[in-house]
Each structure stands twice: as C-alpha cells, then as structure tokens.
Structure 1
Amino acid sequence: MPSPTINLADVKGIWRPVYARRQALHATADAIILAAWRADLHGIGLAPAVAAWRQATGETVDPATQRRRQAAAAAVLGTLSARSWRRTRAALALAAKRAHRAGWAAGHAIVTQDNADDTDFEEPADSPYRIGSPDMTDHTADATAASVLTAALRAGANRAGRAMADSEEDPEGEAEGILGDGLDLELASDVAVSAAYGAGMLSAYLGAGAQAVVWMTAGDARVCNLCQDNETDSPYSLLGAPSLPAHARCRCCLAPA
C-alpha cells in the first residue's frame, strides 16, 4: 500500500505531474468560469431588487436585522433567477468534463506508470461511454452545471442581501460588488471540478481492476481534521471511499491501495 500522505512541498515521482496538471486544471477552470459569470452578469441592475426588498420590509419600519437580510436575499435571488446564465452553464459543464478526463488520465498514469517516474503522461484517446471511461456524459455535465449554478446563485444572493440590508448609503452598489467578485461561484465550481476529477480517477482505478483506495492528504499544517481522519481511516473499498473533495479548496487525492 502506498504511504497515504503526499508532501506537496516536495512532490516526487508520478505525483509530481499529477499535481502539476491538477493545479493547472483548477486555474484554467477558475478563469473560464469567472469570465463567463462576469459576461452573463454584465448589465445587471439591482435597483428592482432594492425596491422589492424595501417594499417587503417597509420603508418606515425598522425590522429585525435577520428579517431584513432574508428579504433582501430573496429579492436578489429573484433578480438573478430571471437570467439564463447560458455562458456560465456552458463553462461549468465544460470544466466538469475536462476535470473528469484529467482525473482519469491521472488515475490511469498512477496505475500504469512506475511510481518513481516523474515524466508527464498522455491524455486519453476518445472512448465510448462505459465503465472505466475517461469521458463524462453530456447529461452528467449539464446536471453538474445546473447544481453548481443553483448553489452559487443562492449563496451569492445571501451574501449580496446581507450587504444590501446592512448598507446605509448604497445598497445596490454594495450588493452588485458582492456579485461581481464571483466568490460563491468560484467556491462552488471548485468543489464540482474536484468531484469530477475524483470521479475520473475512480473510473480509471475501476477500469484497471483496483479493489481499494487510500485517501491522501497534502501533508502540511493546512490539512484539516476531516481530511486527516479520512487518511487515518484508509483504506476504503473503491466505491466506499469518502467523497472527494472533503470541502472547497481540498488538496487531497485518492490512490489505489
């Protein structure tokens, strides 16, 4: 069984190109998705949301802070939900498919190359959809995109609503600034990309006949208790391993036992 912990400060062997590619994957996904988000967000005005919020809470009434924030969040979410987010959906679906394929390529390299070999590996050739395939179906990619967008819109509306409700001078501008930073979409898409990557790895391991996997942490002071517990409790059956990622920005990985 491989040693569970990866030392990201000094990555050696096959894990060097695996993690280099993974970091590049996330950086590219962030850039593509946030560019699509900002293009879809362009021209949005939250003045109707501010008006709806004020109507819901009453101009002359000073309601409890929580009620003000909830009403503001609902108003923002209504404005956001009226948009199609076509570019963002497409970018999310593309990122998920690329991540699954990248995870499969990494998993395939891990089970086929010498563990000490730190040379780069090839991308998989096109293949039909089957068990162990490097490809994610369009249906799964679209469903992933829809789920991520729904979560990001709700989280973004909650943050923007809080800013709107707490602002004394410019509620519209404060809320639009929150949406413009794209943080909620970035975090939600990071989880989705890592999940697709992990699913791709498991697909490669499954196709190679692996029976169990170990959870591998990054081996530094930033490792959280949840990830450390996942590593300590390894190995797991191939389909019984904890879901990757354990949280947003998770750096852990799965390796065949």
Structure 2
Amino acid sequence: MAPSRSIAKMESDDSTLRLAVLIDADNAQAAVIEGLLAEIARFGEATVKRIYGDFTAPTSASWKKVLQQYAIKPVQQFAYTTGKNATDSTLIIDAMDLLYTRKFDGFCLITSDSDFTGLAMRLREEGLTVLGFGEKKTPDAFRNACHKFIFTEVLRPESITESAAELPAVKRGRKTATPAKTATTDTGHAFPKKFVLAALDQSIDDTGWAGLAAFGSYLTKLQPDFDSRLYGYKKLSDLVKAKTDIFITEERQLPGTHRKMLYLRAK
C-alpha cells in the first residue's frame, strides 16, 4: 500500500490499515499505553502488539502491570553483556520477519532511540507507512525517518482527559464558544508561524485557498513531528480556526454530499 494513501487515511474514520505495533520497553513509558493505543486506533488496526525488554529487571515493573490488560505480547530479552542493547536487535529482527510476511500496511515503532532510524528507513523503502512514537528527547534522525512522528507527552492521561470528555457534551447539545484545546497547553513549543505559512503557500490551489486535508498532509511531509496538540489544540482544524491573526477559513459543501470541508488561506 502506498504511503500517500495511508497518510490520507490518518484523519479519516475509515481506518483499515493493518499495523504491527512494536514497543521498545527500554525507551518507552507504560503510563502512556492507553493514550498510545487510542492514537494508533485512529490510523488502523493493531494486528500485532509486541513489547521487547528484560521483564525480570525492576525498571520494567510498570510494563508488566499492563501487558495482559492491553493484550500486548512480551518478548523477553536478557541483557547478555553490559553496554550492549540486545533488545534493539531482537525488535529489528522481528520487524524484518513481519515485513516479509507481507501482511501489514504499516509499522508503529514506539521508542525514543535513534538506533531504529535505519529500520524506519528500510520499512519505508518497502512502501509501508511508518508511525513513530517517542518522547521529546527523541533525536531528529528517527523523527524524520517516519512518515508521522507523535510525541508521547501529548498522549498522557492529563493531555487527553478533556478530549475524551467533549464527546458526551456534544451529544447533550452543549456548544463551546472557542475551538477545543487539550488540557495541557503550555508545552514549551513556540508556534512555528513562518513554517506553517510556507507550507500553506505550497498547498493552495489556483484560487489561493487550500483544503485542510491537503494542508495537513503537506505539513506532515515537511515536518513528520508536527502536531497541533503541541500548541494546545486537539485537532489541526481547531488550531486553524483559532489562529484568526494568521488564517482566514471557510467551510464549503462537498458536491453531492451533506459533508463540509474546511478551506483556509493566509490573512
């Protein structure tokens, strides 16, 4: 499956990608597992869920508590020698074995370790979608090797509580005056206005407007770790609507449907 098709489905309700989820227990936190799996479900079905590490070590105690709950298969890997990471090698070997089954549309690599940069690049060469999940300390090399990279800090429970709470409010007919924001808005990330406007300029059509989907796709191609939640907004559409000093937006009816699409241009 071509990556472009996979990326286009990221914000779609039609999530049918078959994904292999591989977690590096040495470089990931168990506290984000619920938000992590919910995020992965936006992109497709987690057909395989495996986690790699030494689960006899005290540092993996937090992971042992959630493995059964979320049906994640642990792959025990003892540290044979000091200073050598056998976990990385086992994960990479498994990833290649899964790749050659030709049963998957993409891989989710959960790690903050740049050692998986080569793996991400190899999977992309095979035409598979690569989604990376890691902490803000993750080196740029691994982030940019993925089609899409998501910071796990935005997936922590305190960051998704408000988002989850909004659905019942909408069903009860309650309205909000401003675009929805995540509970955590002070992320320490300065809004990249110049970059965003440059991406918009490349996304516009002959009329000077850009569809939100085209704009979002271009942002991700240029900067795989771009995420509206880093700037306090649950969705890209919320961010665009809120930045009235930068964007002019309008909703247009899609021909032959009852659906509307958001369009934007620079102010």
TM-score interval for Structure 1 and Structure 2 normalised by the shorter chain: under 0.3
Higher relative contact order (CA 8 A, sep 6+): 1
Q: Normalising by structure 2, report the TM-score.
A: 0.22
The structure with the largest helix share of the pair is 1
Larger Rg: 1
The structure where strand makes up a greater share of residues is: 2
